[in-house]
Structure 1
Amino acid sequence: MKTSVCIIDDDGLYKLLLKKSILKLPFEIAVNCYNNGQEALYGILDNKDNPELLPDVILLDINMPIMDGWEFLEAFIEVKWQLSKQITIFMASSSIANQDIEKSKLYKEVSDYLVKPINTQKLEEILKLKYKVTS
């Protein structure tokens, strides 16, 4: 079964580059992208009963229109019990503000805070070690 990564970010160029970096890794990975938290939440809820269509990993930006990363987290917490598998979330932001880093630690759903851009080595480490992806 493929590992699935979901990128939630409003920066089209960043998503494109990150997706290309992920797909270059020596693993079988499916990548899904959303422009904001609301789109992602709808996509997740549409597939809540099908674990193969749910992401294993979410890379979540903070600052987005419509529904930002913090609002997505609050909504995700409300619905995660409905999902057919556990999803791990990484905050992926260009913000290096301590308040954002500390706020992310308040959510047990957030595994780590990553400062953009995320390099290929870090992506591989996340997927290889934490998710036991095999080549």
Structure 2
Amino acid sequence: MNKLTNILLVDDDPIANYVNKTLLEKIDGVEQVTTAPNGKVALQLLEQQTSPNNTPDLILLDINMPVMNGIEFMQAYKELAIEGKETIKVIILTTSNHPRDLACFTDLPIAGFLNKPLTSGKISGLLDEHFPA
């Protein structure tokens, strides 16, 4: 796995954020994990903090959130003009594998889906798949 400098975790559940952030920080090769409670805050973080030296490598995105959900975030993200966006992998975190739920993301720039809850095995598999050495 290549070293990841920044992961953006977008989820409205503070307990899930704490657990997931702790899991991600324990992985050798991950420098920073930033959290956002909804898609709107995540977009603001991307617009304000993204630079050539500070682009998230990975966004882990929940679907169901208040203010701006995962689908609305991805629609806005698709239009977002930030440097290095083409290198960011977006993975949708979900509790549903129902085709109807996943079809909403068909024309959006996502790299895949991952079922909740996150585990170290799921994270390792994700990182090996999308960020091979």
Cα deviation digits, residues 75-112 of structure 1 (max 9, x gap):
00111xx22112110010223332112322332x1111
Q: 8 Å contact 1:91–1:104 — kept in the other structure?
A: no
Whether the 8 Å contact between 1:41 and 1:72 is mirrored in structure 2 is yes
Q: Deviations over 1:32-78 (max 9, x none)?
A: 00000000000101124x13322110000111011000000010011
Aligned pairs (5 A) from 1:92-107:
92-107=93-108
Counterpart mapping for 1:84-95 below 5 A: 84-85=83-84, 86-95=87-96
**Alpha-carbon distance in structure 2 between the residues aligned to 1:87 and 1:132:** 14
1:2 Cα deviation after fit: 4.3
> Matches of 2:97 and 2:124 in 1, distance apart?
22
Inter-partner Cα distance in structure 1 for 2:42 and 2:74:
11
2:58–2:88 Cα contact (<8 Å) kept: yes
AA partner of residue 29 (structure 2): F
For 2:13 and 2:97, the matched residues in 1 are separated by: 18
- Equivalent of 1:38 in 28, 37, 40: 40
Give the AA of the match of 1:37.
G
Instruction: Give 1:83's aligned residue.
Output: 82
CA offset at residue 28 of structure 1?
3.3
Alignment partner for residue 9 of structure 1, among 4, 11, 20?
11
Q: Percent of aligned pairs with the same residue?
A: 28
Alignment RMSD (CA, Å): 1.7
Structure 1 runs not aligned, ≥5 long? none
1:23 Cα deviation (Å)? 1.0
Residue of structure 2 equivalent to 1:24: 26
TM-score, normalising length: structure 1: 0.86
Question: Which piece of structure 1 moves more, 31-40 or 53-62?
Answer: 53-62
Q: TM-score, normalised by structure 2?
A: 0.87
Count of residues in correspondence between the two structures: 129
CA displacement 1:3-46 (0-9 Å, x = unmatched)? 21111000000011011111111223310000000000001011
Most deviating of 12-21 and 51-60: 51-60
Q: Which residue of 1 aligns with 2:117?
A: 117
**1:68 maps to what in 2?**
69
Alpha-carbon distance between aligned partners in 2 of 1:13 and 1:39, rounded to the nearest angstrom:
18
